[in-house]
Amino acid sequence: MAWRSSGGSNRDLVENLWRNQLITHQQVKEAFLKVDRAHYAPTFPYEDSPQPIGHAATISAPHMHASAAEHLLPFVTPAPPARPAPRVLDIGSGSGYLTHVLAELACAGSGADSGAVVVGLEHIAPLRDLGERNMRKTARGRELLDAGRVRFRVGDGRKGWLEPGEEHKKWDAIHVGASAAEVHDALLEQLNAPGRMFIPVDDDESGWGQHVWCVDKDEKGVVSRRKLFGVRYVPLTDPPKE
C-alpha cells in the first residue's frame, strides 16, 4: 500500500497514509497535517513518491517519512520528567520537510517555548539554506526557527553533530535520510541512553542493497539493532563536486 497513498491535497495524502496504516498514531497524523508538503517538494508534492530537490538529492516519499516518524515517535515526543524537551537530529535534512514534522512532534503540547531542539544537518550549504527557506514560508515555521526550536546546520552527517554551546548534550532521536556504509561510531556515541536511531545502511560494498535499521540504546547504554525493510536511498557520502 506504500505507493497508493497519493492525494489531491495535503489532507488527502495524510488521510490516505492513515487509511493504509502507514501512519498509525494520532500524534503523527496531526504533525503531518500541520506541515504542507507543497512547501517542501517542488513538483507533485502530494504524490507518494520521492522527488528531486537538486544537488543530486531527493525528498523521500511520504510513506518513508511516515515510517521514520512512527518508529522515532517514543523518543521525539516530550515525556516528563525523563525527557521534557526532546533533542532530535535529522541528518540529510534536504528540503526540511521531515525536520519540520519532527519539530511538531517534539514541541507537541507545549508550543515553541518548549525547549525542544531539532537540528537539520546537511553537507551541502545550498540545501541547508533551502530547508530554512522552506520553513519560513509559514508562520508556524518562522515561529519554530525564531524560537531556536529548529536549527539548520552544515556538516558531515557521518560524524553526527555537536551543537555549539551544547556539546555535552546527546540526541534522543537520530534520523538519517541517506544510506550509510555502516552505523557510524560517532552517531552511536552521540545517541542518548535511552535513544533511538532510524538509519538506512548498505548491505554490501556495491551500495545497491540497503535496509533501514532501528538502532536502540537502552538506559544502561546497551545497543540493539533491528532490520526493518529494504530501501533505496542516496548515499551518505562527501558532497558532490561542483
Is it true that the peptide bond before 78 is cis, omega within 30 degrees of 0?
no
Q: Residue 122: helix, strand or coil by DSSP?
A: strand
Sort strands 87-91 and 171-176 into parallel, antiparallel or unpaired.
parallel
Question: For this structure, is 60 an active site residue?
Answer: yes
Could you give the CA distance from residue 177 to residue 88 in angstroms, rounded to a whole number? 13
Residues 6+ apart with CB under 8 A from 229: 211, 212
Q: Encode 165-196: b = buried (16+ Cβ within 10 Å), e = exposed.
A: eeeeebbbbbbbbbbbeebbeebbebbbebbb
Task: State how beta strands 87-91 and 117-122 pair.
Answer: parallel
- Could you count the other beta carbons within 10 Å of the beta carbon of residue 139? 8
Measured CA distances, 5 to 9, 17, 33, 157, 195 (Å): 11, 5, 14, 30, 30
Catalytic hit among 60, 67, 95, 179: 60
Which residue numbers are catalytic?
Answer: 60
